[in-house]
Structure 1
Amino acid sequence: MATTDPRTDIREFLRSRRARITPEQAGLPAHGGRRRVEGLRREEVALLAGVSVDYYVRMERGSLAGASDGVLDALARALQLDEAERGHLFRLARRSGPARRRRVPAASVRPSSQQVLDAISGAPAWIRNGRYDVLAMNELGRALYAPVLADPRRPANTARFVYLHPEEAGEFFVDYDRVVADAAAKLRLEAGRNPHDEGLISLVGELSTRSELFRRRWASQDVRLQRSGRKRLHHPVVGRLELDVESLELPDEPGLHLIVYTAPAGTPTADNLALLASWAATRPDGAAARNG
């Protein structure tokens, strides 16, 4: 379940990152005999971070209040955190300090943002928030994500589709296992950014209750950024698609991302996208799907 208690989040995150690193990976001498802990010991993390053992123990118990950027940077290096994990650590530390004004996630997009989407005619595009709610799409985006939009709940939510409709999602997403891991990791990252988002807390609670797979992925404490990449889909009408993905944060609408899928000209995927556009233009339910 999602929690708004920063001490619990800090404790679970630091323990999970410590457990995945061996002394050899950290450049420490390996001692013979069976170790009682998985990964690094607390004193080894303290040594690598250049802090006292008592101070690190307090941090791992959930107290990051007052930790300087230098200490957090040293801790991030000791635990070999990537960019997403380092940002998550700093956000957890900020949550340990004085209460800040809560950000209310956008529930809709501006008309001008929808106009931008509609102007993108040759590529599927949509706007989503950090909890995977699809807030607006262009025509080709609605055609591409027809399996996701088949669920009548609105706003459509990709994470809910992935975890609660595993058969359909497994057919649609070629790399389903990676998509599953990414979805939980990005929701975990969003929980660190906006821990009081009631919609996110509700979503995580629903997925935790209804999906054993989600419970396992959420418990991993993984966080992940994804600004670009490759997505392989199998569309029920046009078949296999191998798409390049760009995710752009909208500067005037914090927390919202513009997602665009493209394919190089002359490739089978580009041809299939053209077929998809033709199919979308002739769908009798196209107007209704526009409101999805």
Structure 2
Amino acid sequence: MDNQREVREFLTSRRAKITPERAGLPTGSRRRVPGLRRSEVAALADVSVEYYAKLERGNLAGVSPAVLEAVARALLLDNAERAHLLHLAQAADGSDALTRPRRRRTKDRWKPHRSLQWTLDAITAGPAFVRNGRMDLLAANQLARAFYADVYALSDNQENLARFTFLDPASHRFYPDWDQAADITVAILRTEAGRNPHDKDLHDLVGELSTRSDDFRTRWGAHDVRHHGTGTKRFHHAAVGELTLAYEGLEMAAEPGLTLTIYTAEPASASEVSLILIGCWGGSN
């Protein structure tokens, strides 16, 4: 991906989201831009307007961590956005033709070592699975396979949650809050693109989804990023109907870039009963 373009569009989109009120600045009667002016961001970051304009044109090479942090504060970036800005700066510092890493394509699908699969299989009360930043489902316990039966049902999904969300009509039933699920999916891919800009498989996936889905293309252009660590989601499973699950996403120290996600239901809730039924349903198929 074009690093300068990514930087330019990311910084511009963040600036457009901040009102003068949020930034603690006086509001004028006439404002030609949505959000802050470049001069206002520069003042908040304590840099010259010319220097900030250079940054917003996409020139992050050689920018000090102190300046990046000042810009992050001025733009009110959250932790995920700060990390994304840092990744973009790191990519800019390595963008010279002599040092730029080659775009990598995964030749063989990653396979879990036996002890990891044993660990997943030992988790029986909730769906547990391992995914990468492209949202490929790489390993799962039996309950996760039954839970994501719609994802595994069609070969076109390629066991990928992003393809399922945007290209499979079944996703609109599976995710009652589909817009939220779609936003999260794109934000995870955006975050991965900043962290691993030379991943050819990710480039191909983004290109495919942009071509085939207007919903994806619009969201991708928003440049939103996020850390997907904990929370609750609603689902609608074909076998049991609607259920609400909590999730925890854990970065795998032994496999950088991979995330172990575990879904659980509130004890003694209807959703807990539904998970038990999904497990029985999956075991009978």
Alignment TM-score, normalising by the size of structure 2:
0.94
> Residues 205 and 237 from structure 1, CA distance in 2 versus in 1: closer, same or farther, beyond 3 angstroms?
same
> What is the CA deviation profile of residues 19-74 of structure 1, one whole-angstrom value per residue up to 9, with x for unaligned ones?
111212211111223x2222111111100000011110110111111111111111
Say if 2:231 is the partner of 1:229.
Answer: yes
1:31 aligns with 2:28: yes
Q: How do residues 175-214 of structure 1 correspond to structure 2 at under 5 angstroms?
A: 175-214=177-216
- Cα 1:193–1:95 change in 2 (3 A) is same
| 1:174 Cα offset (Å) | 1.4
Equivalent-residue separation in structure 2 for 1:152 and 1:164 (angstroms):
12
SS at match of 1:63: coil
Q: Report what 2:10 is aligned to.
A: 13
Please report how far the alpha carbon of residue 217 of structure 1 lies from its aligned counterpart in structure 2 after TM superposition. 0.2
Q: TM-score with structure 1 length normalisation? A: 0.92
Match status 1:64 vs 2:66:
no
SS of aligned partner of 2:22: coil
Equivalenced residues, count: 278
In structure 1, what is the Cα distance between the partners aligned to 2:284 and 2:166?
Answer: 31
- Quote the sequence identity (%): 51
Mark the runs of 5 or more structure 2 residues left unpaired by the alignment. none
Deviations 1:84-108 (A, max 9, x none): 0000001111111134657967733
Deviations 1:186-239 (A, max 9, x none): 100000000111110010000000000100000001011110110111100111
Deviation at 1:138, TM superposition (A): 0.7
Q: Which amino acid aligns with 1:55?
A: Y
Number of the residue aligned with 2:276: 274
**CA–CA distance in 1 between the matches of 2:22 and 2:125?**
46
SS at 1:247's partner residue?
strand
Spell out, residue by residue over 1:166-192, the C-alpha distance to the aligned partner (whole angstroms, 9 max, x if none).
x31110011111000111111000000
- Aligned equivalents of 1:31, 1:272: Cα separation in 2: 55
- Which of the residues 75, 83, 103 maps onto 1:87? 83
Aligned to 1:77: 73
Alignment of 1:100-119 (within 5 A): 107-119=110-122
Shift of 1:273: 1.0
Aligned residue for 2:163, secondary structure, equals helix
Corresponding residue of 1:136: 139
RMSD of equivalent CA atoms: 1.5
